[in-house]
Amino acid sequence: MPWPLRWFARVLTVLLALALVLAGVLVYTVRKSFPQVDGTLRLPGLSGNVEIFRDKSGIPHIYADSAADLFMAQGFVHAQDRFYEMDFRRHTTAGRLSELFGSSTLANDKALRTMGWRRVAEQELPELDQQTQDFLNAYARGVNTWLGANQNASDRSLEYSVLKVQNGDYQPEKWTAVDSLAWLKAMAWDLRSNMEDEIDRALALTKLPMERVEQLYPGYPYDRHSPIVTEGAIDQERFDQRAEPRARGTAALAQAAKTLDAVPSTMGTAEREGIGSNSWVVSGAHTASGKPLLANDPHLSPSMPSVWYQAGLHCRKITEECPYDVTGYTFAGVPGVIIGHTDKIAWGFTNLGPDVADLFLEQVQGDSYLYKGRQMKLETRQEQIKVAGGAPVTITVKSTVHGPLINEVMDGAKPSGEANAVALQWTALTPGRTADAIFALNRAADWNEFKAAASLFEVPAQNLVYADTTGKIGYQAPGRIPVRESGDGTWPVPGWTGAYDWKTAPIPYDQLPSVEDPAEGFIVTANNSVIDPSRYQPLLTMDWAHGYRSERIRDRIEAAVAQGEIDAATMSEIQQDTHNGFAETLVPALMGVDLAGPATGARNLLESWDGSQGLDSAPAAYFNAVWRQVLTLTFNDDLPEGARPAGGDRWYEVIRRLLELPDDPFWDDLTTKNLTETRDDILRQAMASAYQEVAERLGEDVKAWRWGDLHRLELVNGSLGTSGIAPVEALFNRGPLAVPGSKDAVNATGWNVQNDDYAINAVPSMRMVVDLSDLDKSRWINLTGASGHAFHENYWDQAEVWARGDLLPMYSKPESVRKAAVHTLTLTP
């Protein structure tokens, strides 16, 4: 062999050897952190043995003889699978991300320190029931036992090995009960109400008169879309299901908006209109089994791993001391089950969305502010933020009687006008009892115990649907919802007058809407209005979802009832419904416009379209592109960037009304001189531009277009998955997946019309159907998988199943759990 070839062969051999070594190191590093799931491990502090059975999806069912052992073992299991996620979250909620990632996350930390989530959690802990505190501490002991046994970065997870390259000195602290409580504040933040709408209204007012801003916030269409509760009213200071109603500063705001944007989203999405959920319950009068069925699918931003962790928590013998037999969805970092079922009841959540946060414009002078004619001293505190690789940063947090000044943490804020600061008042910044509610829900055995548990669920306020094995169904609106001296919470208000202050007491729990066994035999919640304000006086909010999802679910249930009895498969089919509820309004308007050129062939796709948005749908691809163009062409020239439409059913209602006003000023394109566009001009341009956009991406053969080729989901790790370093991101991110549906379809896979990639930013984060006739016939799915360890077989094994719309068995009975188990781990004292 000539020497150049020999040299090349040797170099190639060396390179291959190095590649194999590096691959081996990587495989070793990755697998070293995978948890032990078989055999026996010691867990000091247990009072007895605990068994953990895992099925092929890695979903654990934990069996113990005491409640303390149960929650201690849950902490251990969460840490096994998801400790990095837990650690990252607690740094987020405490405003300490910069300790991990350096100065790049300072804006996040400043915003979180100003909000003071962790401070509130610290105040909350001693006010909780002593049993709740004991369970939180037991959970923390389980986490810390795992942490103590996994001291090296490579023992904990791949993320820590990668993080060590940038921040070699970092060592995780022990877990505490406050870490768990602070995560509940993150849940409340992402499921808050209309705060962004308040800012958007005010920002829009900088360019538009009041009456035109109001056009963009139409009221709920009660004449077309039913509220959740269709009967009852407050009578003798209680909500009675049978009762009938009686007759009855700009610069600072812009800076506040930046502050709110800097608060990292832990469950939701930056586009608030993408947040929602579906849940409904059907009584046995309409089901094949004669017992209720309950469905739930919360809509949150996609994350890798999923925000949810499936688990079963079982006392081997149900006693007063150990009353838990619960299966469902948990949060890694929090003991108990958030959504699921016990052996007797099931429940689901959707975001109630009451107005629980207000922005108060303030007049600040030096260290004081004006309030009711007097200068009041600002409350101040210092917050020091440690920064990896840099010097600590200290900020001063200032607060008025209404709450922290959220514009103060941003550099370059320039006071102007009558108001020069913005304070945030939010119910979650007051200590509450939501942690008590979790354990109360997990041991509830009937409707009365469920309602008692719901009374403790203060923030975030949720729509709770209920069913039990005796056949009862119900609905309860819980939550701490403020009562205002005046105003409706839709606009930022002057704080110095005191006229818009919150009253001391919120709406009493007994006055919140509740329904038990309604006559129609089902209850539907999908972030729609809870109750018609003509029959209910306390203000819940003015900013509901506008009922397109809820009405579609109602229509599907009524059609299924008319055709025969409903079963679990019917419930799952409804969850997968992709129908676009606005197509029947917009398509006829598009068909009535004169159109020439190649876009006519694309428009022809819509003539016989049924509104479904499946993966292979060419009409769905074109319609959604047209919808994007209609919104951006109509409103982007009129509105500042922060107030522009992202999409969703509020904009359905806005466009519905504008279609009847062909010469409305919103149709005119302000960027064109000496030309006044009308409705048909914008619709024509939208169809032409949509054709051009889709043809450039999918080709000119319109019949070959597929919605799934545009509408795709990337599963992105919440920290290292956005590092900007491609090899690192490739380790932790997964996808893309083609996914059907769209924003405000029942299968609500949301996207932002301001982006031309149609990338999915909100999804049904899980799906669950509970069969109360036989709980083992229940079904569920998670967005990704049980494991938080990249390259583990359960890291994203549920993702493709989820994308197909399939569900997995949701076993909960001991014999079924043991039969399905492929791993068994015993924890001993």
Binding residues for Ca(2+): 198, 355, 358
Neighbours of 627 (CB within 10 A): 23
Which helix (H) or strand (E) segment holds residue 713: the answer is strand 712-715
Q: Answer whether 24's CB lies under 8 Å from 811's CB.
A: no
Amino acid at 214: E
Q: Answer whether 314's CB lies under 8 Å from 325's CB.
A: yes
Annotated active-site residue 277? The verdict is yes
C-alpha span between 29 and 153 (Å, rounded): 9
Q: Answer whether 221's CB lies under 8 Å from 392's CB.
A: no
Q: Answer whether 212's CB lies under 8 Å from 668's CB.
A: no
Residue 425, beta-bridge partner list: 358
Contacts of 486 (CB under 8 A, 6+ apart): 499, 500
User: Residue 785 burial (CB < 10 Å; 0-12/13-18/19+)?
Assistant: buried
Length of the chain equals: 829
- Give the tokens for residue 17: 């050897």
Angle at 622 between CA 621 and CA 626, to 5 degrees: 125
- Give the tokens for residue 754: 């301001």
C-alpha span between 400 and 590 (Å, rounded): 52
Within a 13 Å sphere around the CA of 557, how many CA atoms are in the beta-carbon half?
26
Tokens 């959540």 map to which residue?
A: 349
How far, in Å, are 68, 394, 404 from residue 114 at the CA level? 35, 12, 7
How far, in Å, are 82, 285, 311, 558, 567 from residue 564 at the CA level? 44, 11, 34, 10, 10
Tokens 């795992």 map to which residue?
A: 146
Contacts of 594 (CB under 8 A, 6+ apart): 680, 684
Tokens 């904009």 map to which residue?
A: 651
Residue ranges for the known binding site are 198, 355, 358
C-alpha span between 263 and 246 (Å, rounded): 43
Q: Decide: helix, strand or coil at residue 446.
A: coil
Which helix (H) or strand (E) segment holds residue 553: the answer is helix 548-563
C-alpha span between 140 and 263 (Å, rounded): 26
Orientation angle between helical segments 67-93 and 130-148, nearest 10 degrees:
80
How far, in Å, are 239, 261, 632 from residue 457 at the CA level? 18, 27, 40
Give 444-449's long-range contacts (Cβ < 8 A, gap of 24+).
444/342, 444/344, 444/345, 445/342, 445/344, 445/345, 446/344, 446/345, 446/470, 446/472, 447/345, 447/472, 447/474, 447/516
Amino acid at 821: A
- Give the tokens for residue 191: 């499921």
Q: Which of 180, 277, 301, 719 is catalytic?
A: 277
Could you say which DSSP state residue 511 is in?
G
C-alpha span between 280 and 524 (Å, rounded): 4
> Annotated active-site positions, please?
277
